[in-house]
């Protein structure tokens, strides 16, 4: 069983990555730059998968974090 913190670390790392690569980018860049769009989709996938694996105990202790929304966004991005 993985240490619960690994899921939180994945989420935080991907958020930091998204902030770094999106600095100065626009929605138009996301539409026109396949590499940028792929990187964003990949990060969203990792965030969503990690959010799905965060134990209920941690979710309950942190109700202000949008766990379900992160997972749902991942599903929308991956499955259309």
The H-or-E segment that residue 8 falls in is helix 5-22
So which residues are the catalytic ones?
74, 79
Compute CA distances 50 → 13, 23, 27, 31, 73, whole Å: 11, 24, 25, 26, 12
């Amino acid at each position: 069983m993985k240490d619960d913190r690994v899921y939180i670390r994945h989420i935080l790392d991907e958020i930091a990555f998204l902030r770094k690569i999106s600095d100065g980018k626009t929605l138009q860049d996301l539409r026109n730059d396949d590499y940028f769009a792929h990187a964003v989709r990949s990060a969203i996938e990792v965030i969503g998968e990690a959010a799905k694996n965060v134990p209920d105990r941690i979710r309950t202790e942190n109700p202000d974090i949008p766990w379900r929304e992160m997972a749902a966004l991942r599903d929308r991005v991956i499955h259309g």
